[in-house]
Amino acid sequence: MPAASKPSAATATTAQDAGPPSPAGAPLPVDLRRLQLPKIDLARPAGTQIFTALKAAILRLDLPPGCALSEAELGARFGASRTPVREALAQLRDAGLVVTYPSRGNFVTKLDAEKIREARYLREALEVANVARIVETGMSPAVEADLTACLVRQQEAIDAGNAEAFRAEDDLFHQRLALATGHARVAHVLAHEKMQIDRLRMIGRRDHDHLDTLHIQHCQIFDALKQRDMKLAISTTQAHLRAVLLVLAELTESHPEYFS
């Protein structure tokens, strides 16, 4: 996928050729009063809390691609002034989840197939490097126990039919692999790139068979790491991460309204 820079607050607010947020130019309606959002803790910075809450709502598709985000309505919903709301929206623009059109307002970005392909490419590069390093250095008993427990919880989530719990443990599995490299920033960079893919996961399949396939792939990666088999660790990781391309192809046809 071509290199795509993350939109900054400056470029997002001045782009004249960005086009309308939806094919018809009309924003998708969302009743913020019905949206489940946490209350602001007055003892902590409001902007950071609003950013975290809105990011989660966007990634869950509670705020779907193309919907409008009114500063006034958000302020009223969170019980906050415009300043922390604007801070949160600026962070969401930097994350590529919100775009601001001059004289029109703020909108949740549509899914971009090219950016998703780019994010997947970058994620694969990072995760292959992660497993390669773990093979080289070996897993500590603590890391092995942590990953084993994570895989057990994934199976429990599948058995319970709890796709949300599985998704959380899926994220944790990959985060733990990143942290096991000893490079603290890797997990942060990986989480940032995954945001372009996370919304795709919410639209895609979450049935038992699909989750079971993901779990099997996680177990294969884990087994390769325990065996310290470099070739197998890399190939299983690549196969696991490239499956999203098939999902992307399916969803661009079945849910065109979510894509730019």
> How far is Cα 107 from Cα 101, in angstroms, rounded to an integer?
8
Answer for the pair 66, 22: CB distance below 8 angstroms, yes or no: yes
Q: For residue 168, what is the domain's CATH number?
A: 1.20.120.530
- pLDDT score for 28: 59
Is residue 3 included in any domain, yes or no? no
CA nearest to 147, candidates 80, 214, 42, 221: 221
For residue 93, what are its two tokens?
């623009």
Domain of residue 234, residue span: 113-258
- Residue type, position 253, single letter: E
Looking at the fold, whether 59 and 78 belong to one and the same domain comes out as yes
Strands 68-69 and 98-101: unpaired
Q: What is the reported pLDDT for 33?
A: 72
Q: What CA dihedral angle connects 31, 76, 21 and 45, to 10 degrees? A: -120
Q: Give residue-wise pLDDT tens across range 41-64.
A: 888 999 999 999 999 999 988 999
Q: State the residue for tokens 């910075």.
A: 45
Q: Which of 108, 134, 152 is the last residue of a domain?
A: 108
Tell me, what DSSP letter sits at residue 37? Answer: -
Residue 236 and residue 149 share a domain = yes
In a domain, 4, yes or no: no
Q: Are residues 94 and 178 in the same domain?
A: no
Helix pair 113-137, 208-227: axis angle to 10 deg: 30
Digit-coded pLDDT (tens) for 53-107 = 999 999 988 999 999 999 999 999 999 999 999 999 999 999 899 999 988 899 9
Residues lower than pLDDT 50 in the chain? 1-25
Residue 17 is predicted with a pLDDT of 36
In a domain, 121, yes or no: yes
Residue from 179, 166, 176, 174 nearest 215 by CA: 166
- CATH number for position 65: 1.10.10.10
Buried b (16+ CB within 10 A) or exposed e, 174-186: bbbbbbbbeeeeb
Contacts of 52 (CB under 8 A, 6+ apart): none
